[in-house]
């Protein structure tokens, strides 16, 4: 990209003029790396101060009798009630007895690509036609009218989420990070500036899906196929690097290799579906072999066995609180997994992979916290909130914008009607970019998707 700008800005220079003399040395023509860019625009809000609440700031801090001030779509102030000057322009919400947190971010969702109702016409999450479908972008499967988005907002306090392709393939395709704000198009929901992710998978799923379709049929086949793809990606990367620097014959474009090249260049983040500790270790080694890094392991049921390796690699583990045994590679799941990863100083995330679980990630975190405490691991509730917002934001590359309550960040905020680690607690209000998009007191602030219009139960509490 840079080379073409330099060259076109200096057409008169001898290097470019000389290069233009023969058709094999034309100036390189680059393509738009982001043709389906976000068109998201925040909805309007009113300057608001929540006072007297317990605040989890998302970075592990807790403020009792705290106040949070949001205005112009961003967090303007967080502190004790005495720190925030309330003016007549602000709407004041008495948060006494309530809690304020950053919005929950789910790093593993299939809302939109496996939407409700779960009929075969809607099954758009796995392009299970080839073990390498790095060429698909799951945003092109996301149905914005999935009724699940609204449940995640109203019951779960989820303000952003990553939708991933499924795990049938070694390379499942690009993920997309969304604001949990209804849109007519997926572009209207895309989180502005969020980097793309690439879903990879190891273990049982690819070998089960492709075992009788030409392979891979074994775990060693999974690894060999994956390594071969990285070898091809490096060759492609070198070819394009050369073209971008020197011009000449334009290499053929390959959508799958574009994505793998984006990983090698550090622009696209790897989110690797992997359950077993031994397989995660192999995938970390593979990343070293080919020169990329793994942002997160998804499911990571056995992360507790290799917390040291994960900490050293800087790789997050996105985990369930207590799912186990539903297949062999999940057999060793334990409810202490999240707490052990956190306790070892590695990055722990509670994820859902489920349209129901996404509505209760706070409850799942509470179970994980309790399991850790039973083993003597003292983690405060405020620290544990990092599993739900800050660490997810870091793994997605959006922590500069959201994931904690800090002045200047997006006002993605949840007011809970009690301690969110209690089963008896629900969101009272949810703001995204400072816009009040759910209010338990106001049926008009309860989104209803197109699908639900005119159906039994339209507009009901859900």
Partner 1 sequence: MSRFALTALAAALVAASPAIAQPVAITGGKLALGDGSAPIDNGVVILEDGRIVAAGPAGSVAVPAGAVMLDARGKWVSPGLVAPFSRIGLAEVDLSADGSDDASIGDSPHSAAIDVTWSVNPAASPIGVARADGVTRALVAPGPGDRIFSGQGAVIDTATDYDPITRAKAFQLVYLGEAGAGMAGGSRSGSVLELREGLRRAMGEGAYRDLPDDSLLTAADIEALVPVVKGEVPLMVVANRAVDIVNLLRLAQEYRGLDLILMGAAEGHLVADRIAAAGVPVIVEPTQNRPGSFEALAATQSNAGRMVAAGVEVAAAQINDFLTRSAQNNRQLAGNLVALTRVPGHTGVSWGQAFAMITSTPAAMVGLRGEIGVLAPGARADVVLWSGDPLELTSHAERVWIDGVEQSLENRQTALARRYRYPQREALPKAYRR
CA atoms within 13 A on the CB side of 389: 33
For residues 384 and 342, give the distance between their C-alpha atoms in angstroms, rounded to a whole number: 9
216 binds partner 1 (CB under 8 A): no
> Could you tell me the sign of the dihedral formed by the alpha carbons of 279, 284, 286, 287, in that order?
positive
In whole angstroms, the minimum distance from the beta carbon of 218 to partner 1 comes to: 13
> Could you tell me the sign of the dihedral formed by the alpha carbons of 77, 81, 82, 86, in that order?
positive
DSSP 132: B
Sole binder of partner 1 in the list 29, 91, 184, 208 (CB under 8 A): 208
For residues 324 and 354, give the distance between their C-alpha atoms in angstroms, rounded to a whole number: 15
In whole angstroms, the minimum distance from the beta carbon of 94 to partner 1 comes to: 16
In whole angstroms, the minimum distance from the beta carbon of 387 to partner 1 comes to: 14
For residues 176 and 160, give the distance between their C-alpha atoms in angstroms, rounded to a whole number: 11
119-138 positions binding partner 1, by CB under 8 A: 119
Window 350-369: contact mask with partner 1 (x via CB under 8 A): -----xx--xx--x--xx-x
In whole angstroms, the minimum distance from the beta carbon of 72 to partner 1 comes to: 29
For residues 200 and 227, give the distance between their C-alpha atoms in angstroms, rounded to a whole number: 12
Beta strands in 188-313 (DSSP E): 197-201, 269-274, 294-299
Sole binder of partner 1 in the list 297, 421, 431, 438 (CB under 8 A): 421
DSSP per-residue string spanning 295-333: EEEEE-TTGGG-HHHHHHHT-EEEE-SS---SSGGGTT-
Q: Which helix (H) or strand (E) holds 60?
A: none
284-343 positions binding partner 1, by CB under 8 A: 304-308, 322-328, 331-336, 340
Window 437-456: contact mask with partner 1 (x via CB under 8 A): ---xx-x-------xx--xx
In whole angstroms, the minimum distance from the beta carbon of 427 to partner 1 comes to: 9
For residues 343 and 404, give the distance between their C-alpha atoms in angstroms, rounded to a whole number: 21
Nearer to partner 1, 333 or 434 (CB): 333
In whole angstroms, the minimum distance from the beta carbon of 55 to partner 1 comes to: 20
44 Cβ contact list (under 8 Å, min separation 6)? 435
395 binds partner 1 (CB under 8 A): no
Nearer to partner 1, 12 or 461 (CB): 461
Nearer to partner 1, 241 or 322 (CB): 322
For residues 315 and 16, give the distance between their C-alpha atoms in angstroms, rounded to a whole number: 44
424 binds partner 1 (CB under 8 A): yes
Question: Which part of the chain contacts partner 1 (CB under 8 A), choosing from 133-141, 143-151, 195-203, 385-393?
Answer: 143-151
Peptide bond into 216 cis (omega under 30): yes
DSSP 77: E
Sole binder of partner 1 in the list 76, 108, 151, 269 (CB under 8 A): 151
- Residue count at the site for partner 1 (CB under 8 A)? 61
Please give the residue ranges that form the binding site for partner 1 (CB under 8 A): 116-119, 147-148, 151, 155, 204, 208, 304-308, 322-328, 331-336, 340, 344, 355-356, 359-360, 363, 366-367, 369-370, 373-375, 417-418, 421-426, 440-441, 443, 451-452, 455-457, 460-462
């Amino acid at each position: 990209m840079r080379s073409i700008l330099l060259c076109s800005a200096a057409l008169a220079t001898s290097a470019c003029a000389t290069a233009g003399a023969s058709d094999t040395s034309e100036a390189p023509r680059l393509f738009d790396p982001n043709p389906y860019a976000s068109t998201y625009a925040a909805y309007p809000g009113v300057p608001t101060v929540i006072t007297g609440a317990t605040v989890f700031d998302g970075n592990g801090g807790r403020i009792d009798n705290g106040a949070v001030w949001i205005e112009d779509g961003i967090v303007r102030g967080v502190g004790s009630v005495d720190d925030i000057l309330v003016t007549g322009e602000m709407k004041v919400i008495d948060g006494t007895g309530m809690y304020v947190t950053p919005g929950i971010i789910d790093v593993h969702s299939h809302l939109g690509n496996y939407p409700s109702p779960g009929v075969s016409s809607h099954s758009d999450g796995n392009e299970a036609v080839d073990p390498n479908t790095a060429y698909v972008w799951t945003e092109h499967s996301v149905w914005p009218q999935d009724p699940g988005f609204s449940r995640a907002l109203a019951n779960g306090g989820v303000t952003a989420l990553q939708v991933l392709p499924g795990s049938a393939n070694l390379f499942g395709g690009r993920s997309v990070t969304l604001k949990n704000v209804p849109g007519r198009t997926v572009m209207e929901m895309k989180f502005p500036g969020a980097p793309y992710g690439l879903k990879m998978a190891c273990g049982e799923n690819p070998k089960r899906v492709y075992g009788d379709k030409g392979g891979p049929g074994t775990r060693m086949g999974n690894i060999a196929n994956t390594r071969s793809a990285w070898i091809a990606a490096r060759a492609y990367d070198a070819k394009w690097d050369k073209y971008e620097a020197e011009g000449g014959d334009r290499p053929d474009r390959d959508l799958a290799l574009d994505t793998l090249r984006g990983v090698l260049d550090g622009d696209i983040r790897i989110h690797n579906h992997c359950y077993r500790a031994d397989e995660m270790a192999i995938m970390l080694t593979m990343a070293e072999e080919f020169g990329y890094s793994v942002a997160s392991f998804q499911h990571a049921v056995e992360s507790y066995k290799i917390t040291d390796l994960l900490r050293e690699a800087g790789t997050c583990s996105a985990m369930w609180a207590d799912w186990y045994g539903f297949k062999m590679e999940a057999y060793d799941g334990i409810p202490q997994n999240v707490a052990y990863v956190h306790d070892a100083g590695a990055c722990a995330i509670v994820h859902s992979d489920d349209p129901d679980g996404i509505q209760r990630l706070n409850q799942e975190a509470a179970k994980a916290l309790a399991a850790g405490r039973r083993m003597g691991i003292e983690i405060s509730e405020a620290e544990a909130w990092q599993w739900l917002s800050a660490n997810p934001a870091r793994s997605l590359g959006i922590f500069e914008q959201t994931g904690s309550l800090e002045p200047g960040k997006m006002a993605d905020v949840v007011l809970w009607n009690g301690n969110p680690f209690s089963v008896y607690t629900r969101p009272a209000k949810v703001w995204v970019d400072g816009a009040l998009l759910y209010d338990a007191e106001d049926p008009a602030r309860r989104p209803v998707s197109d699908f639900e219009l005119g159906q039994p139960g339209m507009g009901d509490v859900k």
